[in-house]
Amino acid sequence: MALRDRWPSRTAFIYAAIGSAVGLGNIWRFPFLAEKFGGGAFLIPFLIALFVAGIPLLILEFAIGQKIQKGAVDSLASIKKKLSGLGWWALFTAFIVISYYVVIMSWSLIYLFASFGVQWSEDPESYFFNNVLQISESVDSIGTIVPAVFIGLLISWILIYFCVWKGVRSVSKVVMWTVPLPIILLFVLLIRAFTLDGAMIGIVEYITPDFSALFDTEVWIAAVSQVFFSLSIAFGVMIAYSSYNKKGSDISKNAFTVGIADTVIAIIAGFVVFGTLGFMAEQQGVAFDEVVASGPGLAFIAFPQALSLMPFGTIFSILFFITLFTLAIDSAFSLVEAVNIVISDKIKMKKQYIALIVCTLGFLAGIIYTTNGGLFILDVVDHFVTNISLIVIGILECIAVGWIFGAKKMRSYINKVSDFKIGAWWDTTIKYIIPISLAVILALQLKREFVENYGGYPDWAILIGWGVVLVPLAIAFSIPQRTVKSTT
Ligand code: PHE
């Protein structure tokens, strides 16, 4: 049997895992969730979800991949044959996420070029919707492909291909640059934000807790799905990456390092965004609430607008969109690599070809989001996948390891290889606390879905949402299973 590829060093693995975790979720999703759910109050459920569910599950995924030395499908199948279905489901979900994730990268590329001359400065909102997206009135009219977004998508995919084409060998070289660079740029933007007049208005808004938000179940649902999305768990990505570690590598210290780095970067991104928007509120003499837009509008409307108001706006805009793009690319190729590894576990084919096929399919799947109605579809798909599929996959992973493999057995492996020993709390967390709390969250979420259509979309769009959850699920569990022997 051919020897498995390996990370050249522990640093390469940590960089790659941090690169996967830190992405659009940190700089685009986290700040707008924090804003939407009462500023500093969102931090509390977020941190609780991080320590109670996020890090223990990250430990679990690192342990599965590293112990069994396979991608998600074969790793889970070696615990129990039927579980290969869970692996496939995680994988299909990763594929769906990557198909729209790269479209957001394409918007960032367009903005990077538009930064020369700060082309949106006249009317940032109209620039985003009418010039960049050329959006239709509603999801009912899909329209045609928007050329610039399509070309941006193609360029992004070509870049992604060259990051993953040699598997872990190319990835480990790329991450040495693409992980530190945006983090350094983020610090530059942080200093810029703090030195702007009015920054404090935004920062106060960000860190002032609104404790009433804690009693809102929606906040908890959002916090948990944000933790999952941001740590790249339940996609098979972290299983794939850790399977390139040697069996004796540390697990728990790595998981804490990645989890905490990801959180610190999200919190810093929050300061950058809120500080900069505070400056804009002061410039325009309006209340803070009036300058913030939620959702995609934050990174592509409000923030660019603030950039256009500051001295050297062009330079800071370029820096911001390079940051956004390079933060996202490591996440994007980690998703691709998770898919590639499963294929290369199954069939003998050169890495370059597998990567080429997966990247081409990902590009083709993304075309739907480059249409005039693309943003609506993206919104629906993202909502269903992150709020339903991920939660169910999380519950099933806990059952697989906690109950079928045995939490205690896994923990004794983890402690054998790790400097930092984890206690029996981990078993309780994996066996009871996470699955039960996720089940409650899922029930609440399902109730909401059935009370009213998400985002007021028509029934057929909601049906697509259910489709991206249920069709992959059905296919995943009908793929014939074969017994996989673990290399243990
Ligand atoms: N964690 C990434 C982010 O926050 C997104 C991602 C999800 C990447 C799942 C890989 C797997 O942007």
At residue 1, the pLDDT reads 45
At residue 2, the pLDDT reads 55
Q: Can you spell out the DSSP letters for 352-390?
A: HHHHHHHHHHHHHHHGGGGBTTHHHHHHHHHHHIIIIIH
Q: How far is the CA of 339 from the centre of ligand 1 (A)?
A: 14
At residue 486, the pLDDT reads 52
Q: Which domains are delineated in the chain? A: 10-476 (1.20.1740.10)
Q: How far is the CA of 121 from the centre of ligand 1 (A)?
A: 30
Instruction: Among 22, 32, 101, 381, name the best residue to mutate to test ligand 1's pocket (greatest count of ligand atoms within 8 A of Cβ).
Output: 101
Q: How far is the CA of 70 from the centre of ligand 1 (A)?
A: 20
How wide is the angle at C-alpha 138 spanned by C-alphas 136 and 140, nearest 5°?
105
- Name the closest-CA residue to atom 7, ligand 1: 232
Q: pTM for this one? A: 0.93
Residue 368 CA to its chain's centroid (Å)? 20
At residue 320, the pLDDT reads 93
* Residue 23 CB less than 6 A away from ligand 1: yes
d(Cα 423, Cα 227) in Å, to the nearest integer? 22
Tens-digit pLDDT string for the chain (488 aa): 456 789 999 999 999 999 999 999 998 889 888 888 877 778 889 999 999 999 999 999 999 999 999 999 999 999 999 999 999 999 999 999 999 999 999 999 999 999 998 889 888 889 999 999 999 988 888 999 999 999 999 999 999 999 999 989 999 999 999 999 999 999 999 999 999 999 999 999 888 877 888 888 889 988 998 999 999 999 999 999 999 999 999 999 999 999 999 999 999 999 999 999 899 999 989 888 887 766 667 889 888 988 998 889 999 999 999 999 999 999 999 999 999 999 988 888 898 999 999 999 999 999 999 999 999 999 999 999 999 999 999 999 999 999 999 999 999 999 999 999 999 999 999 999 999 999 999 999 999 999 999 989 999 999 999 999 999 999 999 998 766 655 54
* Residue 60 CB less than 6 A away from ligand 1: no
Residue 375: what residue type? L
Nearest to 103 by CA among 358, 299, 457, 368: 368
Alpha-carbon separation of residue 159 from 135, 260, 328 (angstroms): 26, 28, 12
- β-bridge mates for residue 371, sequence order: 145
At residue 297, the pLDDT reads 72
Q: How far is the CA of 152 from the centre of ligand 1 (A)?
A: 20
Alpha-carbon separation of residue 84 from 388, 402, 467, 475 (angstroms): 20, 16, 21, 12
Q: How far is the CA of 79 from the centre of ligand 1 (A)?
A: 26
Atom of ligand 1 nearest to the CA of 229: 7
At residue 205, the pLDDT reads 87
d(Cα 61, Cα 258) in Å, to the nearest integer? 13
Reduce the DSSP state of residue 479 to 3 states and report it: coil
How wide is the angle at C-alpha 256 spanned by C-alphas 84 and 193, nearest 5°?
115
* Residue 235 CB less than 6 A away from ligand 1: yes
d(Cα 84, Cα 65) in Å, to the nearest integer? 14
